[in-house]
Chains A and B, each alone.
Chain A
Amino acid sequence: MTTPSAADGARPASSGGRAPSPAATTTNPAGRPAQEPPLLELRGVGKNFGPVRALSDIDLTIPVGQVTALVGDNGAGKSTLIKTVSGIWQPDHGEILWRGRPVHLHSPKAATDLGIATVYQDLALCDNLDIVQNMFLGREEMKYFQLDEISMELAAKQTLADLSVVTVRSIRQPVGSLSGGQRQAVAVAKAVMQQAQLVIMDEPTAALGVTQTRVVLELIDQLSSRGIAVLVISHNLNDVVNVADRVAVLYLGRLAAVAPIKDLDTGTIVELMTTGRSSRVAATPGEPAHATSQPGAGPGTPTAGGTPGNGTVGHHTGEAP
């Protein structure tokens, strides 16, 4: 039983207010749903580890220039989903579309080449190298068979300035001397400089103080205002409410809901995270229903409703553990 039935209370919550994003509608200002495919689309994605079903039937769209928060309790499958999107693990079912075209993310490099950058607070930076060296690691610029430190430093400085990161005293200081928020900023700036179009951040504000958290949240805003899509995992619902345009709730490997943030409050999100359902999401009358899954919707079948990314709430109630 992997496919929930259409009758299990799939909920409508579609609203034109916040989504689609301005970036998505630029080609189509007439008010109709954007015809431009979303940046990233997962269709019926499933992932098993032996008998354990870590993800099943995930239908998720990531629109251009929006911040999508991915929330869920421990073990809900957030990390698995992110690792699938960033090419570390391959899905067992379903397909991944990048700008409407099916892609195979067979390695982290394949994802990076597409423009999917995953920012980890600790894994991505070398403490002993300075900010410039870290930002250009693996793509150093050369001049006369030597590292072109000056042009790299100028480019790094420019990128950091564009992202309004001004708190570092010198970009020639080792990353090990930076605070957690500054490290995030460096990692994000590295992704931006490498022309990332989707930045995935895994718990970017975990272990950060109030000031540093604000720095990171402002950074996420900066990214989306530059037309870069952000997928952020967070346990901190305050951060999610502050920064996200849309929220996707995972519950036991299933997508319990995807909705614009304004349609949800923290109480509803917590309810969805802990039970996989919410009475309050159901309380939006008069909207056309868009189930995220339909009977028999196998891998590769287009999502029902035809307006992916427009804030569909799918509310699965079957499949209790």
Chain B
Amino acid sequence: MSTETHQPAESAESGDELAVEAAIASPEVIADSLGEYLRLLFRRIRSGESGALPVTIGLVAIVIYFQARNSLFLSPGNLVNLLIQGAPYIILGMAEVFVLLLGEIDLSVGYSGAVCAVITAWSVFSVPWWVAILLGLATGAVIGTIFGLLITRLRLPSFVVTLSGLLGYEGLMIVLVARSGHGPGGSIPISNTIIDDLTEGNLSPVAGWIVMVVIVAVAAAILLLRDRQRRAANLVTPPLSVTGLKILVMAVAGVVVVLVGNADRGTALVSLRGVPWVVLIVLGVLAVWTVLLGRTRFGRYVYAIGGNAEAARRAGVSLNAVRTLCFTLAGVTAAIAGIVLASRLGSISTDTDGGQLVLFAVAAAVIGGTHLFGGHGKMINALLGGLVVAAIYNGLGLLGMSAAATYIVTSLVLLAAVTVDALSRRGSRAT
């Protein structure tokens, strides 16, 4: 029940306001029944305030299209392949979300991630695998921090600084691969089975079920607990049916992933089954970054700066520190993506196309619903958008399309997503 009442005496003026409020406010905060929730959600989408639903619908449409064109698309083997292919795009998309939320952009994440992967692949010849991974992540942090400092202290535009990074880190990557002495053919092989298994390894079928049940149970417990605390404090609480629906969606998604992963996708001779490890890596990064953005002061300030930097400054927020930290975190996240990519390819090569990677990363974040100009977006956007990008990439590959066609289609999807973003911004400003 809403305890803040609106005055009926407020006449037509506030009648219009309520319509606007209902359109822009999140349905959870207003609806007191499932029916009203769905009605408000629909009205919100129609008014251009895109949440996760449009990209989900888009994803379903893409899946149906490719399945109709090639029945292999929805085979377990291809779906698992799609998840593994998509993981670097999704994680890079999450890196991009940090800076997009500020209204900045990082064009270098593709090659800086590759440089970090080179550091990991090189150092794992001489140090334990976890030290090598930490070295890679630290490299990402340093790269991101340098960008952050240049952009905040010297007030350089992030577009240009990271564009120079795009070029510079490609060069650095080539130099490092050559200098390492492990890459005569222009690529350093991953010499460690654990790093290899990040994408090649699978959970056992039983472990997959257990992990899935635990994840869904924990997420459900967090949602229900939060609702209960709000109810106890006599605050507006989403109706139980809405929370139940969310939990149901999570559970169904979990069951589907485990069913697909556990289906035998091997050959007639060798059976291959199990959810790949990389799914857990993606979910882990998603969970940690979501908590950081949603439940901490830092996260709140990121949104505040993206929304109105001057207001944040007046509130005492240290703009430079928060901005720099965002670039640092983007660098670390890019390093994770680079290591996952190297794991999938079994090596890190000077042929790595960081330019394409960064476009896929921005596409993943924006297609998922992150605003290009700051203030709106969540980590989950990168997951959904990354799946769309991966599905297009994978599906066009299955149809035997050329790389050129893949680029063109992906660019068109990105353009469509940016257009939707711009139109929805115009819509919300007009109100």
Contact = CB atoms under 8 A, between A and B. Distances in A.
Nearest to A125: B311
Interface stretch (A35-43, A126-134, A223-231): A126-134
Interface in B300-336: 300, 303-304, 306-308, 310-312, 314-317
A169 B4 contact: yes
Interface in B129-158: none
Given A153-B235, A169-B2, A173-B21, A137 B26 contact: no
B71 interface: no
A137 B235 contact: no
B314 A169 contact: no
A150 interface: yes
Given A140-B297, A172-B26, A173-B29, A126 B303 contact: yes
Interface in A155-187: 157, 160, 166-174, 176-179, 182
- How many residues of B sit at the interface, in one of the four size bands? 35 or more
A212 interface: yes
Interface in B1-38: 2-7, 10-11, 13-14, 17-18, 20-26, 28-30
A170 B25 contact: yes
A209 B13 contact: yes
A173 B317 contact: no
A177 B310 CA distance: 19
A209 B15 CA distance: 14
B236 interface: yes
Nearest to B30: A170
- Interface hub of A134, A139, A147, A173 (most chain B Cβ within 10 A): A173
B312 A137 contact: yes
A128 B236 contact: no
Contact of B297 (A125, A147, A160): A147
Nearest to A209: B13
A125 B308 contact: yes
B303 A128 contact: yes
Contact of B307 (A129, A140, A145): A129
B152 to A, nearest CB: 18
Contacts of A137: 300, 304, 311-312, 315, 317
B4 A171 contact: yes
Given A124-B314, A128-B376, A169 B6 contact: yes
Interface in A75-128: 108-109, 123-128
B47 to A, nearest CB: 11
B395 interface: no
B419 interface: no
Contacts of A306: none
- Interface hub of A126, A128, A160 (most chain B Cβ within 10 A): A126
Contacts of B24: 173-174, 176-177
Contacts of B7: 166-167
B295 A146 contact: yes
A126 B375 contact: yes
A128 to B, nearest CB: 4
A123 B306 contact: no
Contacts of B271: none
Contacts of B25: 169-170, 172-174, 177
Contacts of A150: 229-230, 233, 235
A142 interface: yes
Contacts of A29: none
A110 to B, nearest CB: 12
Given A123-B311, A169-B30, A212 B300 contact: no
A133 B235 CA distance: 15
B126 interface: no
Contacts of B310: 123
A128 B374 CA distance: 9
A279 interface: no
A146 B307 contact: no
Nearest to B315: A138
Given A127-B307, A147-B297, A209-B13, A169 B21 contact: yes
A211 B296 contact: no
Contact of A170 (B2, B303, B312, B428): B2
A177 B312 contact: no
A160 B5 CA distance: 12
Contact of B10 (A142, A157, A211): A211
Contacts of A139: 315-316
A142 B229 CA distance: 15
B316 A109 contact: yes
7 contacts: A126-B307, A129-B300, A133-B300, A137-B317, A145-B296, A169-B30, A178-B17
Q: 5 closest A-B pairs (Cβ-Cβ)?
A: A138-B315, A126-B307, A173-B25, A128-B307, A172-B29
